[in-house]
A and B are shown apart, each in its own frame.
Chain A
């Protein structure tokens, strides 16, 4: 594993809508080589946080850095080092699979993207669909294409929002393995998911969000020590205890 340093750094992040506080005073960081599982009940602020890191929605207060670049002050450099895969990726209906990759390569200035694109298409079983229009793809294939687009420009940090939605068993296995490999190669990865088993399988760190506040942030082992009675307690048990404790407080 490469030397650890924070590739994603969130400091005192607040997001307030007219009457609603979506996220309040959130601080955490993800180091190179770490995979952070972002979990929480519906409306906890998970997607809002991911979209803020991706530079889509501006924070009301606080600072967000990607690979050392402030996403508000230096958005272009931050985004160059980041990939974000939303839960329901919206593709360009009239572009083919191959052209999506071509476009991403041009947008992120990836030189000689062909061999890597071919490898990704093969890995995610999209070779036969390379000339198909996005509107002809199934839900799972669209998700796979979004993943290929995200991986193509070799980002330092990758954000996944419910990454397994719509994927077939082969796709799930491939993506899980890819995430683990990316982590090992020194990327910082954040996965927002309700699938606690996924988080348990591939994440090194955990961030439990509830009502826009962090209930826990740190290595999964520490979460077990803080909220569970035994070291081999399931993440489900850890999660519910953390939420309950937060509610009591």
Chain B
């Protein structure tokens, strides 16, 4: 097989690997790079430790985890099939499309290159998942190899299906896909009915165990049991070697099938790659939810007043937020569905409350600011234009901040009021809602201030980009802790002096608002000093 692997493409892969190392080495060579690397490693290590600590409390036995791993793999495969529509194609990066497609390489050369880069990428990609999977494995290396073979299977299946689209044609593929999905879902439904009927009060693990032993479950999970048995193999021989060989054979068959399917995939691949590249860019910018729904021009808003130039800017961002809101709603709908299903199947619906108490601050501080980039962060490409507008820098900054603050406040108010109504504590809900506008104002001002100080554009990968993101997050937490800490401290102090919650909350609110007022001129200054020609993203 390596015989047909074009030497130039082999060289390209070698150079890419070398370039990646060089990038890391250069990054670590500067004092700033060393600092960022240290922060990155510390944060990564911390998050891994937290995850391991969390998972260790729910340690699974290899045998007990098998149904869960197999069902998870099946769901991921089902998702791949659902996502691969009639316009699917094999993904190549834009530079690969521009430089390799017109070059004198055969289609098989390009396919082999794609498979080789995929295999190389999985070496690192599987590492993170292997830590999670190791909780259900007797040895970490089993988990790593099992995860590697499993993800490879999913990616190979996607490529095979994309080629199938080219062979069958869009219309036939859609029909076949619909029938196949219908049959699979009917089999799953049969299995679910059987497993729920077996034990209505069972927890989530029991549910998956019952499902995997039901007739429907046995049929749909059959191919995935192999991979789950690699991860959960109790011993090297015969379990791991036996199941591992079988899993590798399954992947091998898919590789041969892909290489045998001699179909001209270049056109569909170029189009699909362009689409997917945009999606990946959005996902890397924390806007993956935008991929869930196309914006529609039907949603409109009236133009507000001029407000020294802030009005039209706020209108423009608000219209964008409104038109992208379907994606956000789908995203939250999905999250609520997943949490609800887990709580219901686990028989612990009431456990949702502490989960939500933990989730809401995370949502306010981390997730929503990442999702609602209807401000300077989403306008990096248009800062030139913003600077040409006949409005003062203060008005432009104010206009840019309105939409995300409003959108976040509305979304959070709905969630907080729903939870407080559910728990019959409307007063607490109302108090939280009063704080939401100032807290959001503070958070989005900090986000934009850091962004204007330290702009980051989505880059394909690389240490500088990750380092910048992590350092940005670190600075944000630092400013937030400082301003939030001062507000909280003054509120608590006021409570002890006046023995009144009302005074304490009012002072806390005022201090948070004052923090916004202090940070706003800094943001305006950062915008004025922002020189787009100096902005050098990775």
State the A residues within 8 Å of B (CB).
Answer: 17, 48, 51, 54-58, 76-77, 79-80, 82, 84, 86, 90, 92-96, 99, 102-103, 106-109, 131-133, 135
Contacts and interface: CB of A to CB of B under 8 A. Distances in A.
A107 B391 contact: yes
Given A76-B392, A94-B295, A106 B381 contact: no
Contacts of B532: 51, 56-57
Nearest to A97: B297
Contacts of B534: 17, 57
A249 B97 CA distance: 44
Contact of A94 (B319, B389, B392): B319
A132 B383 CA distance: 23
B72 interface: no
A111 to B, nearest CB: 11
Contacts of A79: 388-390
A51 B324 CA distance: 31
A117 to B, nearest CB: 14
A10 B316 CA distance: 33
A92 B316 contact: yes
B461 interface: no
25 contacts: A17-B533, A51-B384, A54-B384, A55-B387, A55-B388, A56-B383, A56-B388, A56-B532, A57-B533, A57-B534, A58-B531, A76-B391, A79-B388, A82-B388, A84-B388, A92-B316, A93-B320, A94-B320, A95-B316, A103-B315, A106-B303, A106-B311, A106-B312, A107-B312, A108-B389
A58 B528 CA distance: 9
Contacts of B306: 106, 109
Contacts of B392: 76
A109 B308 CA distance: 10
A191 to B, nearest CB: 17
Contacts of B311: 106
Of listed A48, A84, A93, A107, residue having the most chain B CB within 10 A: A107
Closest 10 CB pairs of A and B: A106-B312, A80-B390, A79-B390, A94-B320, A90-B381, A107-B312, A94-B323, A56-B387, A94-B295, A57-B533
A242 B531 CA distance: 32
A133 B388 contact: no
B260 interface: no
A132 B294 CA distance: 13
Contacts of A76: 309, 390-392
A208 B503 CA distance: 68
Given A86-B384, A103-B312, A107-B313, A96 B533 contact: no
Given A56-B383, A76-B309, 11 more contacts: A56-B387, A76-B390, A76-B392, A77-B390, A82-B388, A92-B316, A95-B316, A99-B319, A103-B315, A107-B309, A131-B297
Contacts of A103: 312, 315-316
Contacts of B533: 17, 48, 51, 56-57
The contact size tier of chain B is: 20 to 34
Contacts of A17: 533-534
Contacts of B391: 76, 107
B18 interface: no
A80 B388 CA distance: 8
Contacts of A86: 384
Interface in B505-538: 531-534
Nearest to A84: B388
A9 B399 CA distance: 31
B433 to A, nearest CB: 28
A118 to B, nearest CB: 18
Nearest to A107: B312
Interface in B359-379: none
Contact of A108 (B319, B381, B382, B390): B390
A243 to B, nearest CB: 24
Nearest to B312: A106
Nearest to A102: B303
Given A56-B532, A102-B303, A107-B309, A94 B388 contact: no
B385 interface: yes
Nearest to B317: A92
A134 B207 CA distance: 48
B299 to A, nearest CB: 9
B390 A94 contact: no
A84 B531 CA distance: 17
B324 A94 contact: yes
Nearest to A133: B297
A56 B297 contact: no
B263 to A, nearest CB: 29
Nearest to B387: A56
A94 B403 CA distance: 14
Contacts of A84: 384, 388
Interface string B292-335: 00010100000100100101110110011001100000000000
Contacts of B303: 102, 106
A55 B324 CA distance: 31
Contacts of B309: 76, 107
B526 to A, nearest CB: 14
Contacts of B323: 94
Interface string B375-416: 000000111110111111000000000000000000000000
A90 B385 contact: yes
A106 B310 CA distance: 10
Residue among B315, B383, B392 with max Cβ neighbours from chain A (10 Å) = B315
A107 B387 CA distance: 12
Nearest to B533: A57
A68 to B, nearest CB: 15
Contacts of A108: 389-390
Contacts of A77: 390
A107 B531 CA distance: 22
A135 B296 CA distance: 11
Nearest to B322: A94
A23 B532 CA distance: 16
Given A51-B533, A86-B384, A107 B295 contact: no
A102 B301 CA distance: 12
A135 B274 CA distance: 14
Contact of B382 (A51, A92, A131): A92
B157 to A, nearest CB: 31
A108 B392 CA distance: 12
Contacts of B295: 93-94, 133, 135
Contacts of A92: 316, 320, 382
B388 to A, nearest CB: 5
B338 to A, nearest CB: 28
A106 B531 contact: no
Contacts of B387: 54-56
Contacts of A82: 388
A31 to B, nearest CB: 22
A8 to B, nearest CB: 14
A77 to B, nearest CB: 7
